[in-house]
Structure 1
Amino acid sequence: MFHARPLLTAATAVLVAVALNGAAPVQARTADPDYTITLDPRAQGPAINDDMYGVFFEDINYAADGGLYAELVRNRSFEFLPADNGAYNGLTAWTPTVDGGGSGTATTVNDDARLNERNRTYLKLDLTSTAGGRYGVTNAGYNTGFAVEAGARYDFSVWARSDNPAGTALTVGLTGAAARTLTVRGDRWRKYAVSLRSGRTVDDGKLSVLAAGGGTLRLDEVSLFPRDTFKGRANGLRKDLAQKVAALNPGFVRFPGGCLVNTGSMYGYDAASGFPRSRSYQWKDTVGPVETRATNSNFWGYNQSYGLGYYEYFQFAEDVGAMPLPVVPALVTGCGQNRATDDPALLRRHIQDTLDLIEFANGPVTSTWGKVRAKMGHPRPFGLTSIAVGNEENLPDAYWANFVQFRAAIEAAHPGFTVISNSGPDDQGTTFDNLWAKNRAAGVAMVDEHYYNSPSWFLQNNNRYDAYARSGPKVFLGEYASQDAKLFNSLSEAAYMTGLERNADVVKMASYAPLFANIDNVQWRPDMIWFDNDESWGSTSYQVQKLFMNNVGDRVVPSTATGAVVQPQPITGAIGLSTWATSARYDDVRVTRPDGTVLYSDDFNDGDADGWTPVQPRGSWSVVDGAYVQSDTSAQDTMVKAATIGETDYDLSVTATKIAGAEGFLVAFGVQETGQFYWWNLGGWNNTQGAVEKGFTSAKEQLLTKPNSVTTGTPYDLRIEVRGTHVRLVLNGEEWGSFDDDKVTEPFAQVVTRNDRTRELIVKVVNAQDTAAVTKVDLGGLRVAPVGEQTVITGDPGEQNTRTAEPIQPVTSTVRGLGTTFTRTFAPNSVTFLRLSLR
């Protein structure tokens, strides 16, 4: 924990050197350091869970198909339909192809000739080719095409049937590889396979499947896999992506979501069409032979093949030495949908599905679902011990009513099993408080918290878990990230992680999220690992997470840090008006001192808004009938600003009226040129919630939330009273809420852990500021070897790793001059791990 002391001036004139670009710092000659870290080895720090850090995999940003799942064919079973995405059809990613005078027609069909009830759509080729001609289809793959490596083998397979009595010659061609021909015989579905070897490297290849002769040829489940998958597994994973995860040394793998777990239909199939469409993630759809698995419309706007299913998730967790941690739907939707089931039979079915999932993971081969697992190739149980129920539900009472039924059934059938609850979609607020109270009262073992906040939030909340009860439910921080991808974001996360480790008796597990992003298909940022069709690279946060995850330690050694006092800053800056998918009018904007002295006013009666400028050019603002109106109901985040207020005590008042649209209105204050701002959001979240949010450009966190809605056509009188860091909000003459943003941004953070096996201390220091931190380290009498190892991540705080360059990398070096006390200079904008051998 950090303790402030009066500001000291570092003796910078006598510094020998400062560590830059990962170079080992030279010991500074100063008697007056900026910071002092003091260990108390006699005090007992908390033990650190072996599974402290893990990864969270959700099929977002095309993370599965076209990503971790090594299948190269897009829409391999012709199941892409407009029901999934308006731009889809059965031939999405496929193009009819003619070769050598061939002819025919290609259509996707769903009739009684289908492969099976879950794989319903297939490709029908009506062939009319003359001698020597061929007709068929070509697949474009993902991104720019098939990435093919010279000398590598690729395994092609297809399910096919032909009504041509002589059989149908089917030629398989892959860019860069010699074509192979196989013969489809008989009008019953049969699997055909052939191996291809590439003669050259390409990253924009295509796969063609061309048939000769006449008759009708039916094709389904057209597949091409690299032979060299992760661990060499059939139906396996893309090697470079899986290896990047394995290199993290994760303690657990949380899957399969995320929002896709509990959004969409809660039922299995669409009654009208018979298709398994747009439903929440249901594990039984994802096991068994891949050709029998359902596909699904992903919450994130694309099709899921479910080739990467529950068996493959369990296998992947085992392959990387991690604990599997599935998340099952609680029959209450999350992620803004806010619906709950009122069907007791459906709830009972999903509870039974969860019990069946545990049997699939752990049951003997003689059990119903253990037999399915064994038939898939893993007779040995996977050793599942924990399961999470639900994800980010914002209907706490409905969620809790279902959760307790799941928990009771699981614990009755599997005593000692850990059933994880959650606390909703944010780090605070009414849902958060409600669910935490319920979890504590019920003695739940672990609660899943999620939040995505600005770097300043992470630097201000290092002590968040210091105040949590040491008994009662433990914390699983299942999703968190600082909302950008630059080094400064990663430094703020690193500083926060020192607080997670210091509170390892409360925070038992944590995982950055999301894990993967396909650079050509991004629904969410930031992300840890990025990729295209043949390359992958780790973000700056990947490098920081990897450093922490591979240097955890067994126990925290209590320590304190003293250093410069950082004072809270008063809320000053411009005022602003904004909307979100809403048209609204604003009038009578006034800023006054507490004594009534007018600092700024605009009633728009002169017909213009000359003092107002857009923060971003969004929306359509104009003066209409003596008011300032934003008229575009589709535009989001339309903020305009005016009147920079330098005083620390002032009142902002405005009259706001919703004209049309989905939400209410946003009144901003404390708007800085750096992009930081506050706004009072009324009628947000589809007119269901009000909040005060603190933002930095596009990143925002909620400081205050409560249920709220806005009536169209009704004027609202709003007043925001700012007194330094304290803000009071008045709606129509009555106090709506208040908050005090008096937290300070602490740029220096540290924690010390001990590795019992190697007998090492691991001193972890984050210096998230533009100046070096001269630091005295007092080990409290512990004796260490004079030579140790140092790993540093540092650089320009605005830098990020990209496809073309990865400048932010850890650098490891040897350090000398260590002892019971020593002084180090920690580089500006750096994370430093010192490993010290105990004597």
Structure 2
Amino acid sequence: MSRTRTGIHAPRARWRLGLTATALLVASAVVPGPAHAEDVTDYAITVDPTAKGTKIDDTMYGVFFEDINRAADGGLYAELVQNRSFEYSTADNRSYTPLTSWAVTGTGKTVDDDGRLNARNRTYLDLGADSSVTNSGYNTGITVESGKTYDFSVWARVDQRAHLTVSLADTDGSLAEARRITVRGGWAKYTARFTASRSSSTGRLTVATDGAAALDMVSLFPRDTFKGRKNGLRKDLAEKIAALDPGFVRFPGGCLVNTGSMQDYSEASNWERKRSYQWKDTIGPVEQRATNANFWGYNQSYGLGYYEYFQFSEDVGAMPLPVVPALVTGCGQNRATDDDALLKRHIQDTLDLIEFANGPVTSEWGGKRARMGHPKPFHLTHIGVGNEENLPNEFFARFKQFRAAIEAEYPDITVVSNSGPDDAGSTFDTAWKLNRENNVDMVDEHYYNTPSWFLQNNDRYDSYDRNGPKVFLGEYASWGNAFKNALSEAAFMTGLERNADIVKLASYAPLLANEDYVQWSPDMIWFNNHASWGSANYEMQKLFMNNVGDRVVPSQATGTPSVTAPITGAVGLSTWATAAAYDDVLVTSADGQTLLSDDFSGDASKWTHTGKGSWSIQDGQYVQTDVAAENTMVSAGDPAWHDYDLKVKATKKSGKEGFLVAFGVKDTGNYYWWNLGGWNNTTSAVEQAVDGGKSSLISKPGTIETGRTYDIEVKVRGRQVTLYLDGQEWGSFKDDKPAEPFRQVVTRDARTGDLIVKVVNAQSADARTAVDLGGAKVRSKAGVTTLKAAPDAVNTETQTPVAPVTSTFTGVADRFTYTFPANSVTFLRIRKG
């Protein structure tokens, strides 16, 4: 498996005399926590201030926003009413109706007919006389704060005059003085203002009428939004994002962008609810914007649309980086449009988007931007085409058409391609080959991996081709929000900065998570109705993003030897949303001794079932029959086994995927498995699980046939693993790359002249370290910012164990010794002398 390309290595500092580091005895992929071997405390860091290192762009670190985990409606978008336009549908979620989050007292029904508000806002509420409707908001209810102002609005229509009474209350009573509105005639917008008399997070908004009335777009908005913007953003969330000082904002997704229907429509009656994300649906007056089924299982209102994304980017001083669909799906879907007219329309839409962002007010789309309140351009310089496509050849054929059209009209725009959903494998390799051959400017890489993977891959970009495409690391995170996850990401980020000539942009993902609506975890910022808090990962990202520097100062640190201890563990069988039968399991040692033999002619007493699913002996086979269960692991053998051969016969009965044959099984969260026919039966891979999080070590396209019996063999020798399918070698790998718990990078701040020494110590012992500044003239006192916590520490709404601590250090010299605390990240700002 190739993860790197031929090229020049990043600049390396010359070694200088310093403390001799004690030999590191890290025996396996180490994550912060109890050491697997003897703790190591002595290191050396050498810096070469005379060498000209890599320039770091101001846009190096940014944020990626996707409407996942209810990040938009009920989150960053400040609207307090859920389903304000009665557009919820079973197309969004099987449990939805147009009255989801609403309760009618008296008579009322939702209607979709010619009396609607407009072509895109189709469904409205027909409320009978002396009736009312109450909205329950998001999460626990509508949140208001004592003394704060809230703006109510509704579009209403009556045949005869009617009066609306609008009230805010919770179970303890009124939250504000009720308002009375007189409605006359056809559709019109009516407004009122509330001042909360007390605080509550369980409020309800009620609209009552004394006469029959049609209602739509029922809204309650806090006056106090971020920067005071109308139709704006929830202040505390936007402020936390702004505090990161992001260099760019990537939006609106993610899987959100390139999934859903790719069908076109020519008139309102052909409206397609599950369309891919299309920017033109999201601009203009909010009552005229579409709603759409969200890929993550709910409805998206598009109240937070492209205009608001551009405005927010400008408000936080970040470069906007929109992503448009390339008409090839990803995220587990594998389809590509063959509708040439539709493709051309999307390409034109992309050109129109650039005009909307940058065009003069005299242009069609620049004029639309101006009429929305922003006559000046938004200064768009980068645009992404596509996201995580699993069909690289089909994607690239379409990408080239987008790029050609954009370059012909807007040659200064950087068009960003991508490399699929993983850090390696056949899709990744094919995509990168196409990107290199076609001289793509920038490639968007995505990966989510274990903490140990991030500790092992600090050097990932060291050997990328310096003359090839640049990298936009648009999505990355380790599996978890504990401090040990943030530490591993920090160690990896030192490698990103060292390779800032290759990695031009990087963003942790996802950005936001509503604690009551979680589709994906981990996430950077968590929130509920009334509070928000930064994860340990947020605090780490903030520390790096606020102390980037302008140029790398080459440096080196003591490294870790290769791992030599053999892979050890028992064996296992599993399935994922699939029914399968296993037979004739045989495990033999390297010298031919039988360690385990089971033909399932008796019982299954040799096997321990610790996962989900339903296992039983059927016709001399061990069968798992639950096609809905994920990870149904059963295991057998001794966790101390090493250097063995595992053979098994497997037959898929039904379901979405294939087989999971495990080896090196230590416990339910730590093992390797060969995933045959994974990812909806499109790919086979070997994955390593560490503390429950998985990363791929080798992968290839592949499917498993239903009803066919496969002979599977896994040969483990030391840390070398070879895999055979039906007697043919399928692949092999050697898992001997060490985790690097001690990593560093040094940068210089051009404005102040400061050297910023950034050191990660992701192990359970202090690291007493010799620092050699290579003759640099510096002041003796340095500012210190330290993030230090227990490895499993997690920030919550009420507890913040992971928070930066500032101090000073007065022992700085050309050569000095500093002790970096266990499980910590330290930033030393050293002033020039």
| TM-score normalised according to structure 2 size | 0.94
1:71 has 2:79 as partner: yes
Whether the 8 Å CA contact 1:177–1:196 is kept in 2: the answer is no
Whether the 8 Å CA contact 2:19–2:770 is kept in 1: the answer is no
1:658 has 2:652 as partner: yes
Q: What does 1:52-71 align with in structure 2 at a 5 Å threshold?
A: 52-71=60-79
The residue aligned with 1:498 is 494
The residue aligned with 1:208 is 206
Which of 166, 175, 192 is equivalent to 1:171? 166
SS of structure 1 residue aligned to 2:461: helix
Question: 1: distance between equivalents of 2:386 and 2:560?
Answer: 43
Question: 1: distance between equivalents of 2:707 and 2:218?
Answer: 56
Stretch moving more, 710-719 or 805-814:
710-719
Q: What does 1:764-783 align with in structure 2 at a 5 Å threshold?
A: 764-783=758-777
Q: What does 1:590-669 align with in structure 2 at a 5 Å threshold?
A: 590-605=586-601, 607-616=602-611, 618-669=612-663
1:678 has 2:691 as partner: no
Question: 2: distance between equivalents of 1:160 and 1:442?
Answer: 55
Stretch moving more, 537-546 or 709-718:
709-718
Query: 4+ runs of 1 displaced by more than 4 Å?
Result: 1-7, 268-273
SS of structure 2 residue aligned to 1:465: coil
1:758 has 2:760 as partner: no
**CA displacement 1:501-555 (0-9 Å, x = unmatched):** 0001100000000000000000000000000001000000000000000000000
Question: 2: distance between equivalents of 1:414 and 1:507?
Answer: 24
The residue aligned with 1:18 is none
Question: 1: distance between equivalents of 2:125 and 2:166?
Answer: 16
**CA displacement 1:88-110 (0-9 Å, x = unmatched):** 1111111113xxxxxx4111101
The residue aligned with 2:216 is 220
SS of structure 2 residue aligned to 1:762: strand
CA-CA distance at 1:455 after TM superposition: 0.4
In structure 2, the CA distance between the partners of 1:700 and 1:81, relative to structure 1 (3 Å rule), is same
The residue aligned with 1:22 is none
The residue aligned with 2:316 is 320
**CA displacement 1:172-209 (0-9 Å, x = unmatched):** 43554333433333321111111100010111111111
Whether the 8 Å CA contact 1:332–1:339 is kept in 2: the answer is yes
Q: What does 1:36-185 align with in structure 2 at a 5 Å threshold?
A: 36-97=44-105, 104-127=106-129, 129=130, 135-164=131-160, 166-175=161-170, 176-185=174-183
Whether the 8 Å CA contact 1:270–1:277 is kept in 2: the answer is no
The residue aligned with 1:236 is 232
SS of structure 1 residue aligned to 2:191: strand
CA-CA distance at 1:604 after TM superposition: 1.8
The residue aligned with 1:8 is 22
Which residue type is aligned with residue 113 of structure 2? Answer: D
SS of structure 2 residue aligned to 1:785: strand
In structure 2, the CA distance between the partners of 1:361 and 1:568, relative to structure 1 (3 Å rule), is farther
SS of structure 2 residue aligned to 1:466: coil
Whether the 8 Å CA contact 1:5–1:564 is kept in 2: the answer is no
Taking only aligned residues, the RMSD between alpha carbons, in angstroms, comes to: 1.9
Which residue type is aligned with residue 251 of structure 2? Answer: F
The residue aligned with 2:436 is 440
CA-CA distance at 1:692 after TM superposition: 0.9
Question: 2: distance between equivalents of 1:459 and 1:33?
Answer: 18
The residue aligned with 2:524 is 528
**CA displacement 1:308-346 (0-9 Å, x = unmatched):** 000000000000000000000000001011100000000
SS of structure 2 residue aligned to 1:426: coil
Residue ranges of structure 1 left out of the alignment (5+ in a row) = 11-31, 98-103, 130-134
CA-CA distance at 1:674 after TM superposition: 7.4
Which residue type is aligned with residue 715 of structure 1? Answer: T
The residue aligned with 2:508 is 512
Question: 2: distance between equivalents of 1:460 and 1:521?
Answer: 33
Question: 2: distance between equivalents of 1:500 and 1:199?
Answer: 50
CA-CA distance at 1:567 after TM superposition: 2.8
Question: 2: distance between equivalents of 1:358 and 1:70?
Answer: 27
Question: 2: distance between equivalents of 1:322 and 1:551?
Answer: 16
Whether the 8 Å CA contact 2:670–2:689 is kept in 1: the answer is yes
1:558 has 2:572 as partner: no
Whether the 8 Å CA contact 1:540–1:808 is kept in 2: the answer is yes
The residue aligned with 2:703 is 709
Question: 1: distance between equivalents of 2:348 and 2:109?
Answer: 40
CA-CA distance at 1:647 after TM superposition: 4.5
Question: 2: distance between equivalents of 1:243 and 1:185?
Answer: 38
**CA displacement 1:660-679 (0-9 Å, x = unmatched):** 21111110001123722111
SS of structure 2 residue aligned to 1:281: coil
CA-CA distance at 1:816 after TM superposition: 1.0
SS of structure 1 residue aligned to 2:637: strand
The residue aligned with 1:472 is 468
Which residue type is aligned with residue 701 of structure 1? Answer: S
The residue aligned with 2:542 is 546
Whether the 8 Å CA contact 1:753–1:762 is kept in 2: the answer is yes
Q: What does 1:754-833 align with in structure 2 at a 5 Å threshold?
A: 754-833=748-827
Which residue type is aligned with residue 707 of structure 1? Answer: P
SS of structure 1 residue aligned to 2:576: coil
1:356 has 2:356 as partner: no
**CA displacement 1:702-745 (0-9 Å, x = unmatched):** 11111211122221111111111111111111111111111111
CA-CA distance at 1:771 after TM superposition: 0.7
**CA displacement 1:424-447 (0-9 Å, x = unmatched):** 010011111111011111111100
Which of 743, 746, 750 is equivalent to 1:749? 743
SS of structure 1 residue aligned to 2:103: strand
The residue aligned with 1:691 is 685
Which residue type is aligned with residue 112 of structure 1? Answer: D
Whether the 8 Å CA contact 1:44–1:557 is kept in 2: the answer is yes
Stretch moving more, 235-244 or 820-829:
820-829
Whether the 8 Å CA contact 2:20–2:42 is kept in 1: the answer is no
Whether the 8 Å CA contact 2:781–2:811 is kept in 1: the answer is yes
The residue aligned with 2:5 is none
Whether the 8 Å CA contact 1:173–1:209 is kept in 2: the answer is no
Which of 736, 741, 744 is equivalent to 2:730? 736
SS of structure 1 residue aligned to 2:240: helix
Q: What does 1:161-310 align with in structure 2 at a 5 Å threshold?
A: 161-164=157-160, 166-175=161-170, 176-212=174-210, 214=211, 216-269=212-265, 274-310=270-306
Question: 2: distance between equivalents of 1:817 and 1:471?
Answer: 42
Question: 1: distance between equivalents of 2:778 and 2:320?
Answer: 38
**CA displacement 1:114-170 (0-9 Å, x = unmatched):** 10000011111121x3xxxxx211100000001110000000011111112x44343
Stretch moving more, 640-649 or 417-426:
640-649
Which residue type is aligned with residue 771 of structure 1? Answer: A
In structure 2, the CA distance between the partners of 1:149 and 1:458, relative to structure 1 (3 Å rule), is same
Question: 2: distance between equivalents of 1:505 and 1:9?
Answer: 32
CA-CA distance at 1:5 after TM superposition: 11
**CA displacement 1:589-641 (0-9 Å, x = unmatched):** 11112332212222222x2111211233x001112222211111111100111
Which residue type is aligned with residue 460 of structure 2? Answer: R
| TM-score normalised according to structure 1 size | 0.93
Which residue type is aligned with residue 88 of structure 1? Answer: Y
Whether the 8 Å CA contact 2:562–2:736 is kept in 1: the answer is no
CA-CA distance at 1:467 after TM superposition: 1.1
The residue aligned with 1:15 is none
Stretch moving more, 553-562 or 170-179:
170-179
Whether the 8 Å CA contact 1:653–1:720 is kept in 2: the answer is yes
